[in-house]
């Protein structure tokens, strides 16, 4: 073609493209997140939604699309959707309806998916996220909508032999999904991850979904393209939808990869959003690349129309108010209150809140009980979380009750136990499921009186004259060695008190 | 009188009085099917459990148990309605081997009232047709003249009641599929208000139009069946919670002062001359019964067939997507998935069904939705509003059920439009969701039945049945049966 | 109303509907489609008030909702009983690989 000569690399446009740096390009990201709602039964029938049961053991005439069977909507799915919408500051529809999205696939029994097209249950909203780059700064990501739909089943393709059949399991068919769609407000891979983390946290807090990504309870597609400054104008690259994102890391890495790939492709061919339709690419975890997914010509023609088997659902103001009034405090509110009312640093508050409502409640009870939120934070944020991690337990399974923990911290705060001994006591409490009192007894910890302390210090000075000389000549750090020895002689000796007394005796 | 000459209410009375047994009754009709079905092809399958069920009813009656209001009554069910453990084909090769794993709600209700399903009746494939010629299992013949169609799509149900192979039957009506064959076969057929009878277990053609209803000799029998099948069903989201009025109790309330609307447009051009005459005669009967006849207008109903032939195929194209060769249908030979889909659906569906799926798929596809489906749905609103306004003035609307008596087999098979126009007077009620009944008036000079249609306000089946019943009190047309052996020509 | 469909569109509709039609059938289907579409084009003439709300379903009530309660599923043997091909656990379908498209 003659045209291609004009468009070859020698043209001025191309030269200009080569001059642009990747860092000048703005990455435009929108997410579509599918959340499996935590209902007992499916969206339109009474079959169980439980994961991992024997194939095709959780189906009925409705979810297998038998002739004549009809769907009836699950109340709890509606409630959980409204709860989610309220938590994402969405406008809740007063009237919502159902539409059919028509396409053929063997794990889609009816040949259409019941979804929502023009009247989603949740309208516009937003979610503020903390960006890692500038701690404390938040970014507002606008939510476009969230709609309810039924999940498809599972196809198992045997790739080893091309002739073999694919297997179809319809257990998952009809499981309720809420698809949350953001505006393309996300600008970096890290922000995408932050959005998902915060969303996941919220969904956990409000008991809408366990968001287990391995089980597919939280699935994410990312729409990505670039805005590139070129000759005083913005050029947009073709939009790519990345599918198969099964972990936060995959989301982050695929976006990073895709942005770079699009930039290079644009430098190469100069194609813009006007030149190419939206493309679907799959993320390959093995190769850490996105690859073009083959698309059927008609895949986009879903022929949406209102589902005549279902009628509209009207949502009363009072129902929304009721759900609103029952809404638990959201992570952002809790972080804020940990900072303002409990004096935690924002990062520390974030760590506590990120552990879920159970840890927050634990913290609040201990902080209130011991009246020292910093100490409570230090101990819970470090010791408790480490132990939970090691024991692979949730806070509800943790053997030390908040009351017992408070008692322990009170002893630490009073100086009765030093940090080190305190941790020994905590370990014993966890290991044997006993109270701090019992642990102290078991460890043989008892208070050391002043005369014992005087004797101990005198002995140390007598036996360590060289160290004493060092201290006298100004090496104050050398005192640490004496404190160490003191602990060996009497583990119950409080290092702070020992240090004070030694200093007084040595330097006078 | 032989059993087959009796109306269902009489059969039930005799069963209750112990004059006949359910076993005798079922046996009698099974024998009639055995003898006559080869001529009529009204049944696709006959139940092998009917006698057993009849015996069970007889035993329970002997034991003094209280039985339902239809205990021992044989009934035929259109093959587009699921009966557990029975073949349920919808007249299609696609479902030739399908055994329904569950009972439709209405079948459940009929069974618990003691009715005995004796067989599944022939129909146009997936209820798409007006002659029962689109059945994979061959066409059904009209017992009044076996060279004529019984109408459709519930042609098997109409023919079996007219031919007395079953005392009563159940059909379904999407654009006239109960009323038009009732009219062609000289029986009574009621399409209830949309939402009055559960659709759970009815194989969908066009979900927003489909409705199950009784096909019987008399309005009284229809009222009896409605007392069992009508009412809210939590398994059908479109089922209405509106109170069911007791039609049986109100049958004899005089019609004096009732206002009946007649739309002159529907009694003019295009109408078979004899149909026009007989309908006018029927109007006189209603006048004698004390009805006030008033002229009304339904200006948008002239667009009803066009709107219907967009809306119904659109819904059908989606409803029939599930017949894909994966879970319960016929499956064609294929090397890969796409080929499996295309061959299965290419070979499993008949021509008319494929044509309507094509039409619906086209009309819903990107760029055409607004011009077709949306526009048709707006016209549908106008049609509904016409009725709303008319029913401010009148209680019932009267007219012919069909423009002509039964046509000949093969007469319209090459001309879909001519076939579609057989629905010209019936589709509006489906679009508007209102109830309508067809009752026989005086047959044509060649002995072909003619039907009168009454349409009523939503959920006022009781008024329709009352008017139909009192018309039948005054006229003999519903009592006549075709002579046997069947006439082969008209 | 849009123009009546050209043959390539008929092919595409058949593909979209997953219905195999041979050349002859495609042609005749296109003709019938044209016939019906020209018949329904009368809808174009219907004058509608500007604010007319489409009527999609004959019942305009709302809120048919069920509680989130488990119902016993249908036993697998029974569900798979009607399947054209299954291994007793799964439905089996031909492999999804390259279309042997014409």
Question: CB under 8 Å to A398, separation ≥6 — which residues?
Answer: A362, A384, A387, A388, A391, A430
CATH code where residue A457 lies: 1.10.10
Residues of chain B contacting A65 with CB distance shorter than 8 Å: 322, 327
Range of B191's domain?
3-261+399-479
B371 contacts chain A (CB < 8 A): no
Residue of B128, B162, B165, B137 lying closest to B148 (CA atoms): B162
Backbone angles phi, psi at B398, to 5 degrees: -115, 145
Q: Could you give the number of structural domains in chain B? A: 2
Q: Are strands A218-230 and A233-236 parallel, antiparallel or unpaired?
A: antiparallel
Does residue B76 share a domain with residue B224?
A: yes
CATH annotation of C1-44: 1.10.20
Helix (H) or strand (E) holding B28: helix B22-40
**Complex confidence, ipTM:** 0.96
Is residue A316 situated within a structural domain?
no
Does residue A127 share a domain with residue A219?
A: yes
Interface test with A, best of C60, C69, C73, C82 (most A CBs within 10 A): C73
Beta bridge partners of B74: B116
pLDDT of residue A335: 94
Q: Give the burial class of C29: count Cβ atoms within 10 A of its Cβ; 0-12 exposed, 13-18 middle, 19 or more buried.
A: buried
Q: Bigger pLDDT: C57 or A83?
A: A83
Residues of chain C contacting B310 with CB distance shorter than 8 Å: 40, 43
Is residue A317 situated within a structural domain?
no
pLDDT of residue B59: 97
- Min Cα–Cα distance to chain A from B420, Å: 23
Who among A60, A75, A169 is closest to C90 (CB)?
A169
- Judge: C36–B325 Cβ closer than 8 Å, yes or no: no
- Judge: B318–A102 Cβ closer than 8 Å, yes or no: yes
Does residue B106 share a domain with residue B28?
A: yes
Does residue B320 share a domain with residue B247?
A: no
pLDDT band for B330, please (50, 70, 90 cuts): very high
Q: Bigger pLDDT: A159 or B461?
A: B461
Is residue A320 situated within a structural domain?
no
Interface test with A, best of B89, B327, B331 (most A CBs within 10 A): B327
Catalytic positions of B, written as ranges: 78, 153, 177
A70 contacts chain C (CB < 8 A): no
Does residue B422 share a domain with residue B362?
A: no
Does residue A129 share a domain with residue A98?
A: yes
For chain C, the domains span 1-44
Is residue B126 situated within a structural domain?
yes
C1 contacts chain A (CB < 8 A): no
pLDDT of residue A134: 56
CA angle A371, A375, A377 (to 5 degrees): 105
Neighbours of chain A (3+ CB pairs under 8 A): B, C
Is residue A77 situated within a structural domain?
yes
Residue of A nearest to C91 (CA): A168
Interface test with C, best of A311, A315, A318, A319 (most C CBs within 10 A): A311
pLDDT of residue A2: 38
User: Which 140-169 residues of chain A touch chain C by CB within 8 A?
Assistant: 155-158, 162-169
pLDDT of residue A447: 74
- Judge: C100–B336 Cβ closer than 8 Å, yes or no: yes
Does residue B453 share a domain with residue B405?
A: yes
| C-alpha separations of A59 from A47, A166, C53, C69 in Å | 6, 19, 38, 14
A166 contacts chain B (CB < 8 A): yes
pLDDT per 10-residue tile (average), chain A, 508 residues: 40 76 95 97 98 96 98 98 98 96 96 97 96 72 98 85 81 98 96 95 95 90 95 92 91 96 94 90 93 68 95 95 96 95 94 94 96 94 93 92 94 86 91 88 82 87 87 84 85 82 82
CA torsion sign for A338, A342, A343, A345 is negative
pLDDT band for C58, please (50, 70, 90 cuts): low
pLDDT in tens, B44-89: 999 999 999 999 999 999 999 999 999 999 999 999 999 999 999 9
pLDDT of residue B1: 64
Beta bridge partners of A34: A179, A219
Does residue A195 share a domain with residue A101?
A: yes
Does residue B26 share a domain with residue B117?
A: yes
A136 contacts chain B (CB < 8 A): no
Is residue B488 situated within a structural domain?
no
* Backbone φ/ψ region at A56: left (φ over 0), alpha (ψ -120 to 50), beta: left
Who among B237, B328, B337 is closest to A72 (CB)?
B237
pLDDT in tens, B108-130: 999 999 999 999 999 999 999 99
Is residue A485 situated within a structural domain?
yes
A46 contacts chain B (CB < 8 A): no
Give dist(CA A392, CA A468) in Å, integer: 47
Is residue B49 situated within a structural domain?
yes
Q: Are strands B188-191 and B116-121 parallel, antiparallel or unpaired?
A: unpaired
Who among C62, C72, C95 is closest to A312 (CB)?
C62
CATH code where residue B101 lies: 3.90.1300.10
Residues of chain C contacting A56 with CB distance shorter than 8 Å: 76, 79-80, 89-91
Tally of CB atoms within 10 A around A159:
8
Give dist(CA A181, CA A188) in Å, integer: 17
B177: its two tokens: 């599929």
- Judge: C33–B359 Cβ closer than 8 Å, yes or no: yes
Residues of chain A contacting B203 with CB distance shorter than 8 Å: 67-68
3-class DSSP state of A157: coil
- Judge: A109–B365 Cβ closer than 8 Å, yes or no: no
Residue of A nearest to C72 (CA): A47
Give dist(CA B462, CA B230) in Å, integer: 12
Who among B206, B237, B321 is closest to A104 (CB)?
B321
pLDDT in tens, B219-257: 999 999 999 999 999 999 999 999 999 999 999 999 999
- Min Cα–Cα distance to chain B from A103, Å: 8
Residues of chain A contacting B208 with CB distance shorter than 8 Å: 308
pLDDT of residue A7: 41
Mind spelling out the 3-state secondary structure of B123-172? CCHHHCCCCCCCCCCCCCCECCECCECCCCCCHHHHHHHHCCCCCEEEEE
Does residue A473 share a domain with residue A429?
A: no
Question: CB under 8 Å to A231, separation ≥6 — which residues?
Answer: A16
- Judge: B338–C18 Cβ closer than 8 Å, yes or no: yes
**What is the torsion angle, in degrees rounded to the nearest 10, for the CA atoms of residue A484, residue A489, residue A494 and residue A500?**
-70
What proportion of chain B, given as a percentage, has pLDDT over 70? 100
- Tell me the average pLDDT across B184-191: 98
Give dist(CA B415, CA B44) in Å, integer: 26
- Judge: A61–B88 Cβ closer than 8 Å, yes or no: no
pLDDT of residue B216: 98
B392 contacts chain A (CB < 8 A): no
A309 contacts chain B (CB < 8 A): yes
B208: its two tokens: 């927003």
3-class DSSP state of A219: strand
Does residue B413 share a domain with residue B350?
A: no
CA angle C19, C25, C30 (to 5 degrees): 90
Q: Bigger pLDDT: A438 or B443?
A: B443
Give dist(CA A439, CA A432) in Å, integer: 8
**What is the torsion angle, in degrees rounded to the nearest 10, for the CA atoms of residue A377, residue A380, residue A382 and residue A387?**
180
Helix (H) or strand (E) holding B381: helix B375-393
Give dist(CA B323, CA B92) in Å, integer: 11
Q: Give the burial class of A289: count Cβ atoms within 10 A of its Cβ; 0-12 exposed, 13-18 middle, 19 or more buried.
A: middle
- Judge: C33–B355 Cβ closer than 8 Å, yes or no: yes
Q: Could you give the number of structural domains in chain A? A: 3
Q: Are strands B116-121 and B74-78 parallel, antiparallel or unpaired?
A: parallel
Peptide bond into B485 cis (omega under 30): yes
A348: its two tokens: 């520390």
A58 contacts chain C (CB < 8 A): yes
pLDDT of residue C1: 55
Least trusted range by pLDDT, from A96-110, B35-49, C49-63: C49-63
Q: Are A177 and A153 in contact, with CB atoms under 8 Å apart? A: no
Does residue B328 share a domain with residue B210?
A: no
- Judge: B318–A100 Cβ closer than 8 Å, yes or no: yes
Neighbours of chain C (3+ CB pairs under 8 A): A, B
**What is the torsion angle, in degrees rounded to the nearest 10, for the CA atoms of residue C11, residue C17, residue C19 and residue C22?**
-10
Residue of A nearest to C92 (CA): A167
User: Among the three residues B376, B408, B430, which one is the final residue of a domain in this structure?
Assistant: B376
Is residue B292 situated within a structural domain?
no
Range of A129's domain?
2-160+168-310
Is residue B383 situated within a structural domain?
no
pLDDT band for C2, please (50, 70, 90 cuts): low
């Amino acid at each position: 073609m003659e045209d291609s000569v004009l468009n070859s690399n020698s043209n001025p446009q191309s030269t200009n493209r080569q001059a642009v740096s990747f860092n000048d390009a703005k990455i435009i990201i929108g997410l579509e997140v599918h959340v499996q709602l935590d209902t007992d039964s499916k969206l339109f029938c009474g079959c169980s939604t439980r994961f991992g049961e024997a194939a095709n053991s959780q189906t009925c005439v409705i979810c297998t699309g038998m002739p004549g069977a009809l769907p009836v909507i699950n109340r709890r799915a509606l409630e959980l959707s409204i709860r989610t919408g309220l938590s994402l500051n969405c406008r809740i529809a007063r009237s919502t309806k159902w539409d059919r999205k028509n396409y053929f696939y063997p794990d889609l029994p009816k040949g259409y998916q019941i979804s929502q097209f023009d009247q989603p249950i949740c309208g516009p909203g937003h979610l503020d996220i903390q960006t890692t780059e500038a701690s404390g700064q938040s970014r507002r990501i606008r939510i476009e909508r969230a709609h309810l739909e039924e999940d498809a089943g599972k196809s198992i393709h045997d790739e080893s032999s091309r002739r073999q059949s694919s297997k179809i399991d319809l257990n998952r068919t009809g499981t309720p999904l809420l698809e949350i769609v953001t505006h393309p407000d996300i600008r970096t891979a890290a922000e995408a991850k932050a959005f998902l983390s915060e969303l996941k946290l919220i969904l956990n807090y409000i008991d809408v979904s366990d968001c287990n990504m391995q089980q597919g309870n939280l699935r994410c597609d990312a729409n990505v393209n670039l805005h590139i400054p070129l000759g005083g104008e913005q050029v947009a690259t073709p939009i790519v939808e990345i599918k198969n994102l099964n972990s936060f890391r995959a989301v982050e890495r695929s976006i990073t990869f895709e942005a770079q790939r699009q930039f290079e492709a644009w430098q190469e061919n100069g194609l813009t959003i006007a030149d190419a339709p939206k493309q679907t690419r799959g993320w390959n975890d093995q190769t850490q690349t996105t690859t073009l997914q083959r698309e059927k010509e008609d895949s986009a023609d879903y022929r949406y129309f209102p589902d005549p088997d279902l009628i509209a659902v009207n949502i009363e103001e009072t129902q929304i108010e009721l759900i609103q009034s029952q809404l638990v405090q959201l992570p952002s509110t809790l972080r804020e209150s940990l900072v303002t009312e409990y004096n935690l640093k924002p990062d520390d508050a974030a760590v506590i809140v990120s552990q879920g409502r159970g840890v927050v409640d634990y913290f609040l009870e201990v902080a209130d009980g011991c009246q020292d939120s910093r100490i409570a934070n230090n101990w819970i944020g470090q010791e408790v979380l480490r132990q939970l991690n090691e024991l692979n337990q949730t806070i509800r399974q943790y053997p030390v009750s908040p009351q017992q923990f408070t008692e322990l911290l009170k002893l630490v705060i009073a100086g009765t136990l030093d940090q080190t001994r305190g941790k020994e006591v905590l370990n014993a409490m966890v290991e044997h499921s006993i109270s701090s009192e019992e642990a102290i007894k078991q460890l043989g910890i008892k208070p050391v009186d002043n005369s014992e302390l005087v004797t101990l210090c005198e002995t140390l000075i007598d036996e360590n004259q060289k160290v004493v000389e060092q201290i006298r000549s100004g090496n104050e750090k050398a005192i640490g060695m004496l404190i160490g020895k003191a602990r060996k002689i009497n583990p119950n000796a409080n290092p702070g008190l020992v240090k004070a007394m030694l200093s007084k005796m040595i330097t006078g | 009188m032989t059993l087959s000459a009796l109306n269902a209410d009489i059969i039930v009375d005799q069963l209750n009085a112990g004059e006949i047994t359910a076993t005798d009754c079922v046996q009698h009709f099974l024998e009639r099917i055995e003898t006559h079905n080869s001529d009529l092809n009204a049944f696709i399958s006959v139940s092998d459990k009917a006698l057993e069920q009849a015996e069970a009813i007889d035993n329970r009656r002997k034991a003094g148990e209280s039985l339902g209001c239809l205990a021992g009554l044989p009934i035929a069910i259109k093959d587009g309605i699921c009966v557990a453990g029975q073949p349920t084909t919808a007249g299609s090769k696609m479902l030739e081997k399908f055994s329904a794993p569950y009972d439709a709600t209405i079948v459940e209700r009929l069974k618990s009232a003691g009715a005995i399903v004796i067989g599944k009746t022939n129909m146009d494939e997936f209820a798409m047709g007006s002659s029962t010629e689109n059945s994979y299992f061959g066409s059904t013949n009209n017992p009044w003249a076996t060279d004529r169609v019984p109408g459709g799509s519930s042609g098997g149900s109409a023919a079996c009641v007219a031919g007395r192979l079953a005392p009563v039957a159940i059909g379904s009506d999407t654009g006239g599929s109960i009323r038009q064959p009732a009219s062609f076969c000289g029986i009574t057929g009621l399409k209830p208000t949309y939402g009055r009878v559960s659709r759970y277990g009815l194989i969908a053609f066009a979900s927003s139009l489909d409705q199950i209803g009784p096909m019987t000799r008399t309005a009284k029998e229809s009222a009896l069946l409605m007392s069992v099948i009508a009412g809210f069903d939590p398994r059908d989201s479109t089922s209405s919670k509106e109170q069911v009025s007791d039609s049986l109790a109100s049958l004899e309330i005089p019609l004096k002062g009732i206002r009946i609307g007649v739309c002159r447009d529907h009694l003019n051009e295009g109408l078979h001359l004899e149909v026009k005459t007989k309908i006018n005669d029927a109007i006189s009967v209603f006048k004698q019964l004390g009805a006030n006849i008033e002229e009304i207008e339904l200006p948008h109903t002239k667009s009803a067939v066009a709107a219907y032939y967009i809306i119904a195929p659109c819904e059908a194209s989606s409803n029939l997507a599930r017949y894909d060769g994966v879970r319960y249908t016929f499956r064609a030979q294929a090397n890969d998935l796409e080929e499996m889909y295309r061959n299965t659906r290419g070979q499993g569906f008949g021509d008319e069904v494929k044509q309507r799926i094509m039409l619906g798929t086209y009309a819903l596809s990107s760029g055409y939705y607004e011009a077709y489906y949306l526009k048709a749905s707006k016209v549908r609103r106008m049609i509904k509003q016409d009725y709303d306004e008319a029913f401010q003035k009148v209680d019932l609307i009267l007219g012919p059920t069909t423009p002509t008596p039964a046509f000949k087999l093969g007469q319209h098979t090459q001309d879909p439009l001519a076939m579609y126009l057989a629905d010209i007077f019936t589709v509006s009620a489906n679009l508007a969701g209102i109830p309508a009944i067809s009752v026989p008036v005086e047959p044509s000079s060649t002995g072909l039945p003619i039907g009168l249609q009454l349409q009523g306000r939503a959920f006022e089946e009781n008024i329709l049945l009352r008017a139909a019943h009192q018309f039948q009190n005054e006229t003999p047309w519903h009592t006549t049966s075709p002579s046997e052996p069947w006439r082969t020509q008209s | 109303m849009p123009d009546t469909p050209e043959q390539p569109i008929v092919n595409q509709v058949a593909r979209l509907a997953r219905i195999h039609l041979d050349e002859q059938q495609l042609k005749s289907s296109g003709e019938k489609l044209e016939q019906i579409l020209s018949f329904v084009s009368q809808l174009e003439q219907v004058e509608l008030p500007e604010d007319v709300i489409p009527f999609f379903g004959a019942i305009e009530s709302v809120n048919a909702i069920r509680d989130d309660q488990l119902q016993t599923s249908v036993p697998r043997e029974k569900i798979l009983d009607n399947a054209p091909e299954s291994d007793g656990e799964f439905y089996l379908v031909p492999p999804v690989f390259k279309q042997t498209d014409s």
